[in-house]
Amino acid sequence: MALLVLGTPVSGAPAANEPAAVIRLNSVGYLPDAAKTALIAAACQRYAIENCRTGQIAMQGEVHPADATPANGQPLWRADFSELTEPGLYRFVVDDVGRSAPFSVSVGVYNRPFFAAMRGMTLWRCGVAVRDDSTGEEFHHAACHLGDGLLDYVDPSRAGARLDGAGGWHDAGDYNKYVVNGAFTVGMMLHAWLQFEDRLTTLELHLPDGQPDLPDVLEEAKWEIDWLLKMQAADGRVYHKLSTLQFGGFVMPEEETEPRYYAPWGSAATADLVAVAALASRVYRPYDAAFADRCLAAARLSDRWLQDHPNDHRPDQSAFHTGGYDAPDGDDRLWADAELWAATGDPRSLQALQHRLQHSRRAVADDWDWGDLANLGVYAYLTSDRADRDPHLVDSLQRELIASADRLVQRSQRHPYDRTLGDRYYWGCNGTLARQTMTLQLAHRLTGDGTYQATAQGTLAYLFGRNPYGRSFVTGVGAKPPRFPHDRRSGGDDVAAPWPGYLVGGPWPAGTDWRDEQADYRTNEIAINWNGALIYALAPFVEPASFAADTAPLPPPTEPPTQSTESESDSRNG
């Protein structure tokens, strides 16, 4: 369920949605050895691939009816051009149909999307001024929300008193900050680090305040971790969120001056702090032992509070009409036990974790989000090299995870656009598609079967244009990306283009129900957990050797969009 609050009107005419592209492919491009397919929504027989720099035909071939038909019944034709392996910039051409936008074949084809998604996190920073000109446009806002936050709803006897809660990331298209979703997002990013560290260590993200001893990916995640630690009370409880009472209007963050309050503690938020702090303690230890110690001490403090308070304690949010992020805490406690055990070998945490896993009806979910974090606990358990794991449970979980990955592969292979969710659509389903690559990548790690990685690449192809619109779902990246996301900065500044690097939520209730309109928060909002999933999905395909060259600043766009319309906002509720 969602609480809907009317936002402040924004001047401008409604954004007209463009007709769907007839040729639908990964508009970012392809790795040289990857499968390459395009879908054409018009009857045709042959295609050609044109080299954009020479004008020569690089290859040509036949087009065949697609094996499956979308739910809307529109016939599709499929072309397979996997034999195109020579690096270059190309167009897909079909006589009497049209030409695609240019796409690359390159080992570094996913470098700029990864850079954009990571820079998107930097641009979400709260409490400081931010600036970016990597796309040729200049985006900036001044330091904001320096007064975070008031304690009125945590302790009425301290009404009007402030506690330092500055920092962290704005959560979505609004400027509030939520522990559950923040910890979840950092968790995905740090698991990407643990699994693909060799590809991420040297990347330069042009962060505003350098910490030379930290790789940039970890420095960005630390910005949120520092804020999460501020949300911990002295006794170990963790406040659920820091928020205005109502969603604000479409103004720049420094112009939002409504009071912001801490919400009371919740056991899910407390468990998520345990998990992410314990995880951070082992990720950051090689670089900053003092920070790692601080994180581990915080994890242990909140873990003791949870042990003393075993019941599911839901935060009182009755005064707030902003994002809820409120769901039962069993999955959060499972993740907490997994990460604390992985960091310390704590036998109590291992016993509690294994008990939860052994009594789960299904420990590995195919389709999961902030309200069900058990998969993160399973991933931590299965990737640990600690010797005290139960070998029978490890075997059972590995089989369950591979079975889940197989179902994702099967859904992808049965779907014309290779969606691992099949024809299931809902609020934020683009984020879920990106997140499902975590299961696919771990299955690849366990088995060595390249089918899982190929399916993960198919998900990226869908997100970047091989979809019913023939458009990228990430602002500033790929062909015809979203122009009017539900984002207060994009609606409140004087730059025509939207702020770059953000995955929008995606179509629902059907695959053709996405509208590129600021007012359509149901399908066109942005959120940190969707970007965190996208960062994970891209991480295994980053090419560090060419990263600096591939992420050089772009020239200004030639066709800037016009301003969008008024908007409503949502709550992320359980």
Residues marked as catalytic? 174, 486, 516, 525
Q: Give DSSP secondary structure letters for 188-199.
A: HHHHHHHHHHHH
287 Cβ contact list (under 8 Å, min separation 6): 213, 214, 215, 218
DSSP 265: B
Bridge-based pairing state of the strands 23-24 and 88-94 = unpaired
Alpha-carbon span 349 to 327, nearest angstrom:
22
Alpha-carbon span 418 to 435, nearest angstrom:
15
- Taking alpha carbons only, the member of 510, 482, 455 closest to residue 74 is 510
In this structure, what are the phi and psi dihedrals at residue 305, rounded to the nearest 5 degrees? -60, -45
Peptide bond into 149 cis (omega under 30): yes
Bridge-based pairing state of the strands 37-40 and 77-80 = antiparallel
Which residues face 261 on adjacent strands? Answer: 150, 243
Alpha-carbon span 436 to 113, nearest angstrom:
18
Half-sphere exposure (Cβ direction) of 532: Cα atoms closer than 13 Å: 25
Kind and range of the H or E run holding 452: helix 450-463
What tokens were used for 103? Answer: 């796409």
Contact 570, 525 (CB under 8 A): yes
